[in-house]
Each structure stands twice: as C-alpha cells, then as structure tokens.
C-alpha cells in the first residue's frame, strides 16, 4: 500500500475563549517535574519536562491532535480515531503553557468488520495559558489510498444530496447504540464537524467525546455543497457534563470544511443539567426511525 505523509498544522490559538473555570484540579503535570537541565526538550527557556506523563494526559493531547487532523482532512469516509500512544513527552512552563510531543497509532473510525488497519501519527500540541484550541502540528500516514477516499467521500456526498430536507431524524445513535445503515453518512459527517468543535474546546484539563446527535436538519444550497445543520451532545471530561452544540457545516468533497458552531454555556441554577433539552428518545415501540 502506498503511504503518503500529510503534514498539517494549525495557526497559533486565538484569544477568543477564556480559560474554563473548573473545580476539577489540574493533575499530573504537577507530578515529577524535572529541571530544564535534565530535559531533552526545546530550547525555549523555562520548559520543565514531566518525568512521568500519565498515559491519560498523553491520550488527551493525542486526541486533540487527531480532532484537528480529521477536521483538516475534511474526509468523512476516512476519519481516524486514536488506537494507542506509542511515545509521548510533556512539558510545562511558568507561563502555564503546555507542550506535547507524541507518536500514536490510529484506526479507521468506520472500520468494516475485519478491516483492522493501523495508521501512525506524530504530533506536537501546544496549549497557550491553559486555554482551549491548541496549536497542532500533526503528520499521519495515510490509512486509505487517496482514490478510494475520494470515491467514498463522493458516494457519501451523493447519499446526503438525496436525503429529504429537513431530515427530522432524532437521536443518532438511538439509546441502544444503534445507527441505521442509511443514517451512517449523517453520523460520519456530523463527527467530522464535531471534530472541529472538539479541537476548539479542548484544554489541558478538558477533553471531549461525541455522544449523540440529538437533532438534524439539512438545507439545500444554491451551489453543490452539503449544508448541514445539527445539534450534537458532547461529553466533557472531567466535569462529566453533556454539552449541546449547534453546528452548521458546509461540505463539498474536494473543498475545505466550513464550520460554525454555538455550544450551550454551562447551566445556570435555572437549567437542569441536560434534562429537558431534546435529547429524549421517542418511547413508542422499539424502533426510533
């Protein structure tokens, strides 16, 4: 299989988001810090290397890098997920900036039964001042040949184009973890858009998983792009919160992805924690669709 390296990098993080105020105390980088002299790290002054970075922390950073990679690759049929971290180093400095150097393996997100291929990525992840939206430098081996990826993206694109608008689908997957095959393209495209959001929101202390799509709408556009509007429920670690995010994305197979989003702010005492915001499952009968 021909492998090609795809270098991608993010711009320096902007100043748009304030650091998350959390009760959860930052862990781990407070353990086992060594002096700069012992570190084999970058020349920048004041970096202290974490002697024993926890695998959890390294996995978090790797996931952030992968969210960014998936977003930039903009290919819903070739999404990758983290398999394991092979090697990782972590540094922090007095300015509360965090830096990670990682090598990790990946798997196909939509792996067919028996199709177990591992990709490999190397990444540098940088968090400025505990803020979200780390800057990422990531290079991954190509899990799928470009031609196959383009073909499958185009098939997905055609499927999406044929769907009626609005879709009026609820809860993907359903309560039982089931995604109907006909709805799989929606999930993949939603995951692609969510990757952007999850990258944007990740901090050294907060990371995300996509739990469920709670509503889907799709608009036709004048041009050929898929204009996709949906609400996704993100699971936030370590607060355990479920964050509803309204995401709007515009996608065409051969073009970069355009995403805008708005996530619900942390609940005030007047809002119950995720109780009544449309993530319910329709109770009648066994089928949801």
Partner 1 sequence: MKWILFFGALIGSGICDRETFSGHQVFRINVRNGDEISKLNRLVNSDNLKLDLWKSPSAVGHPADVLVPSFSLREVKSFLEDHGLEYLVAVEDLQIHNEMDNIVKCYPHLASTVEIGHSFENRSMYVLKFSTGEGRQRPAIWLNAGIHAREWISPATAIWTAKKIACDYGKDQAITSILKKMDIFLLPVANPDGYVYTHTHNRLWRKTRSINPGTTCIGTDPNRNWDSKFGEVGASDNPCSEIYHGAHPNSEMEVKSVADFIKNHGKFKCFIDLHNYGQLVMYPYGYTTEKAQDADELDMVAKNTAKALASLSGTQFRVGPIATGIYRASGNTVDWAYDNGIKYAFTFELRDTGHYAFTLPADQIIPTAQETWLGLKTIMEYVQDNI
Q: Which part of the chain contacts partner 1 (CB under 8 A), choosing from 87-95, 129-137, 148-156, 173-181? A: 173-181
Determine the size of the site formed for partner 1 (CB under 8 A).
Answer: 49
Q: Residue from 93, 258, 274, 289 that binds partner 1 (CB under 8 A)? A: 274
The residues in 123-162 that bind partner 1, with binding defined as CB under 8 A, are none
Asked if 259 contacts 247 with a C-beta cutoff of 8 angstroms, the reply is yes
DSSP 185: H
Of 16 and 21, which has the nearer Cβ to partner 1? 21
Binding of partner 1 by 118 (CB under 8 A): no
Q: Residue from 130, 241, 248, 264 that binds partner 1 (CB under 8 A)? A: 241
Asked if 30 contacts 90 with a C-beta cutoff of 8 angstroms, the reply is no
Cα distances (angstroms) measured from residue 197 to each of 101, 110, 122, 209: 22, 20, 21, 10
Both tokens of 47, joined, read: 């970096």
CA angle, 62 then 66 then 67, to 5°? 120
Binding of partner 1 by 24 (CB under 8 A): yes
Looking from the CA of 187 toward its CB, the CA atoms found within 13 Å total 18
Binding of partner 1 by 105 (CB under 8 A): no
Burial bucket for residue 45 (CB in 10 Å: 0-12, 13-18, 19+): exposed
Binding of partner 1 by 15 (CB under 8 A): no
Task: Catalog residues that contact partner 1 under the rule CB under 8 A.
Answer: 23-25, 27-28, 31, 54-56, 63, 81-82, 84, 109, 171, 173-178, 209, 211-212, 233, 235, 237-242, 267-276, 279-281, 283-286
């Amino acid at each position: 299989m021909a492998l090609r390296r795809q270098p991608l990098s993010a711009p320096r993080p902007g100043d748009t988001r304030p650091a998350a105020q959390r009760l959860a105390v930052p862990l781990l980088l407070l353990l086992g810090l060594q002096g700069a002299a012992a570190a084999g790290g970058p020349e920048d002054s004041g970096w202290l290397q974490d002697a024993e970075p926890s695998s959890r922390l390294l996995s978090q950073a790797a996931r952030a890098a992968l969210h960014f990679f998936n977003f930039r690759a903009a290919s819903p049929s070739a999404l990758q997920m983290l398999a394991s971290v092979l090697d990782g180093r972590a540094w922090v400095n007095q300015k509360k900036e965090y830096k990670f150097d990682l090598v990790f393996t990946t798997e196909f997100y939509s792996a067919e039964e028996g199709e177990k291929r591992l990709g490999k990525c190397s990444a540098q992840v940088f968090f400025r001042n505990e803020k979200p939206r780390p800057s990422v430098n990531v290079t991954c081996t190509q899990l799928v040949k470009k031609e196959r990826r383009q073909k499958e993206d185009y098939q997905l694109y055609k499927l999406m184009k044929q769907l009626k608008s609005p879709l009026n689908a609820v809860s993907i997957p359903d309560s039982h973890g089931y995604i109907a095959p006909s709805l799989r393209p929606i999930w993949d495209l939603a995951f692609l858009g969510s990757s952007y959001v999850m990258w944007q929101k990740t901090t050294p202390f907060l990371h995300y998983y996509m739990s469920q799509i709670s509503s889907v709408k799709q608009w036709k556009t004048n041009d050929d792009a898929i204009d996709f509007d949906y609400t996704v429920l993100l699971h936030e670690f370590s607060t355990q919160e479920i964050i509803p995010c309204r995401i709007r994305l515009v996608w065409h197979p051969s073009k970069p992805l355009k995403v805008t989003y708005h996530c619900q702010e942390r609940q005030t005492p007047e809002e119950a924690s995720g109780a009544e915001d449309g993530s319910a499952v329709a109770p009648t009968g066994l089928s949801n669709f």
